[in-house]
Chains A and B, each alone.
Chain A
């Protein structure tokens, strides 16, 4: 049976991991490769590396980092952050990324999804949607949640699917950072109405939140950062908990 995926997200700035404290057995928690290897060994199903560097040098740093990750990590990983062109994607895939995630650039130019899917295949194109509940509906936000658009998250998810996106990474800005649980309603609405997998993100605080987003939210995967980096929940412990709640999980 296909299992639900648990995906730690590592924020990377100038080639170093941001966040992440007190991991025994890791020489340098600031090293994305070391931290990624650790997560792979304790049972993460995939990894997401989100590049938050804002400098012009970022592509060079990022591509050499992606090469290092690909050499050392034997589970799938996605790279995201500021990706806006076919050339960006081509370079990262050549360096060994399994998937790339696109966000604002795809909203500004939806044709980008079509081009990327045709060129590289849907399986490596993750569409990231940042969404916020505003006056009765969930809207798409750009630039890390700073700019509101008039596009509804549900409509955008449907369009992106028909354009060839392979997965949707859905982050609720209302829930992100609150540790009060995932946005169940919009996750469920999108997951039940698109034909591609949905990764829920934003709000994980307890193990119950994960079982909720899988059972009620119908998510195919769940992504979290802080609770893993600050060791509030261990991945082995979380996976055992989910298995006990009859959720298909790879142990």
Chain B
């Protein structure tokens, strides 16, 4: 199976590569349009800031490429936020796969949210074999609202979307690659879609 990780300026590819390796998969890290279009599965990671990430994607024509992909894609963390319509982080227009806004957590909460929080209202094959209230690892200051594409929710002051799904696009706000055996199972589920 060909698994491609989208290479761009906000990709934290090391952890996700290691997580895939632990499942016996050797991913290809690439921004090559042909390879990305023909890979069996795509992972769209992301650590960093939304506007500079979007600028880079546009400059390298990866924005339209990602929108047009037909195979299963998994966005992680900033990758998930970039798949939404708009982010308050430097008022950034994002890819618009999910018709949702990304907002900043408001004080008095500690920002960023760092640590293990539970995922509820699980409703996707991405979570096959995973119970409601399992814990996964989050690091983020911005969150996606709840909408019809929400497949998991988490509470941090407000209830927000901790995972999304629409057609071939899947996304998690948490880091499955850093979430112990629960996270490994989610990645395995994605690979087996």
Contact = CB atoms under 8 A, between A and B. Distances in A.
Interface of A: 1-5, 40, 45, 70-71, 74-76, 93-96, 98, 121-124, 166-167, 195-197, 220-221, 250
26 contacts: A2-B113, A2-B117, A2-B138, A3-B115, A3-B117, A70-B18, A71-B18, A71-B21, A74-B19, A74-B178, A74-B180, A74-B181, A75-B178, A96-B18, A98-B15, A98-B178, A121-B47, A121-B48, A121-B49, A123-B140, A167-B114, A195-B110, A195-B111, A197-B114, A221-B115, A250-B116
B118 A1 contact: yes
Nearest to A44: B180
A54 B18 CA distance: 29
B14 A74 contact: no
Chain A interface mostly = loop
B114 A123 contact: yes
A166 B114 contact: yes
Contact of B117 (A1, A76, A197): A1
Interface string B91-132: 000000000000000010011111111100000000000000
A98 B18 CA distance: 12
A43 B107 CA distance: 30
**A-B interface, 6 closest residue pairs, ranked by CB to CB distance from nearest:** A250-B135, A250-B116, A96-B14, A123-B139, A2-B117, A3-B116
Interface string B14-41: 1100110110000000000000000000
Contacts of A121: 47-49
B112 A123 contact: yes
A4 B140 CA distance: 16
A199 B180 CA distance: 21
A3 B135 contact: yes
A94 B14 contact: yes
Nearest to A126: B114
A5 B15 contact: no
A123 B21 CA distance: 25
B184 interface: yes
A21 to B, nearest CB: 26
Q: How many interface residues does chain B have, given as a range?
A: 20 to 34
B47 A2 contact: no
Contacts of A74: 19, 22, 177-181, 183-184
A18 to B, nearest CB: 26
Given A74-B19, A220-B115, 18 more contacts: A1-B118, A2-B115, A5-B115, A45-B115, A70-B18, A75-B178, A75-B179, A76-B139, A96-B14, A122-B112, A123-B139, A166-B114, A167-B114, A196-B112, A197-B110, A221-B115, A250-B116, A250-B135
A96 B115 contact: no
Interface in B149-193: 155-156, 175, 177-181, 183-184
A76 B135 contact: no
A128 to B, nearest CB: 15
A147 B91 CA distance: 45
A95 B15 CA distance: 9
Nearest to A198: B110
Given A70-B14, A220-B115, A2 B156 contact: yes
A5 B112 CA distance: 15
Contacts of A196: 110-112
A124 B180 CA distance: 19
B86 interface: no
Given A3-B135, A122-B112, A197-B115, A40 B180 contact: yes
A250 B117 CA distance: 8
B80 to A, nearest CB: 15
A240 B89 CA distance: 39
A76 B112 contact: no
B156 to A, nearest CB: 6
Given A96-B18, A123-B139, A220-B114, A75 B156 contact: no
Contacts of B117: 1-3
B143 interface: no
